[in-house]
Structures are given as C-alpha cells and as structure tokens.
C-alpha cells in the first residue's frame, strides 16, 4: 500500500521534524510513504475572506497535483474516528482495490471546498484545537497505529 501525506507548510521546530521522521521510518515496514510539503500562500496580517478564499484556491491547485487514490482531507467538520475505525478505513481501502491512501492537511485557514469535496472521508482529529504543526505528528502516529492494528502488532495495546 502507498500512503501519501500532503501538507501545506513546513515544520519549523526540530522536535516536530524528529517525531515525524521517526514515524516515517516506522511506516516503512508497512507501506510506501510519501510526504509532499507544499508552500503556504502568504496573506496579510488581517486577511479578508476574499483573500483567504483566493489563497485556498491557489493551495488547492498545488494539492491536486499529488492527490490520488482514497483521499482523506483533514478538516474540522470531518468525522471523528477511533484508532480502530481509522485502521478499518485503511484496510477497507486496500480491499476495495485502492493502492494509495492520501491524507491532506491544509493551512491554518483550512482547505478549499473543492479539496474537501474530493474526499471519500473527511476526517477530524478532535473538537479540541491543536497547534497546526502538531497535527502532522498526530496523524502520522495514527497512521502507524492503524498499520499496527491491522497486522496485530503490540503497539496499540
């Protein structure tokens, strides 16, 4: 199976990069993993709704170049799943003939509606608010946990 992670923006803190690197290494046992870090559109300090919408559309054009297979956009209005339910979604994708699962994390302003509409599952991590850059680490951990669940590994216990 192939797992793609498309993210808008780059990680700034070393400790977050280190955590992501560790999960990427662990995922190598279970899948082919690709990370696509795309540039975030620069906005003014007090962006208007029109400016935000234009930036999201521009980011969407970048995202569409890499989005394939089962597409899972991360968005606040998405469905909240348990770790086991996410593992089932990933397993079901493979059974359904999807060789690639693509997760998408947008900018701090979210994702363009067109990208959300491409998703076969819109996913939310929580009703709580987390630092945007931490979402990448949390998602990678959950993807790794999903593979551990699906292969009967001990990590999930």
pLDDT in tens, 89-116: 999 998 888 999 999 999 989 999 999 9
Task: Residues 2-150: name the CATH superfamily.
Answer: SPOUT methyltransferase, trefoil knot domain (3.40.1280.10)
Helices marked H in the chain — which ranges?
Answer: 14-27, 49-64, 83-95, 113-118, 132-150
Q: What is the CA radius of gyration of the chain?
A: 15
20-37 pLDDT tens trace: 999 999 999 999 999 999
How much is the pTM? 0.95
């Amino acid at each position: 199976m192939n797992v793609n992670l498309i993210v808008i923006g780059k990680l700034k803190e070393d400790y977050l990069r280190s955590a992501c690197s560790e999960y990427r290494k662990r995922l190598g046992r279970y899948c082919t993993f690709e990370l696509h870090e795309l540039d975030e559109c620069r906005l003014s300090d007090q962006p208007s709704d029109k400016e935000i919408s234009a930036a999201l559309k521009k980011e969407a054009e970048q995202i569409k170049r890499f989005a394939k297979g089962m597409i899972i956009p991360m968005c606040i209005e998405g469905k909240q799943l348990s770790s086991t339910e996410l593992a089932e979604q990933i397993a079901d994708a493979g059974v359904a003939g999807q060789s690639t699962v693509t997760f998408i994390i947008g900018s701090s302003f979210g994702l363009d509606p067109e990208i959300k509409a491409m998703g076969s599952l819109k996913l939310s991590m929580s009703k709580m608010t987390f630092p945007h850059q931490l979402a990448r680490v949390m998602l990678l951990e959950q993807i790794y946990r999903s593979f551990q669940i699906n292969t009967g590994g001990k990590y999930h216990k």
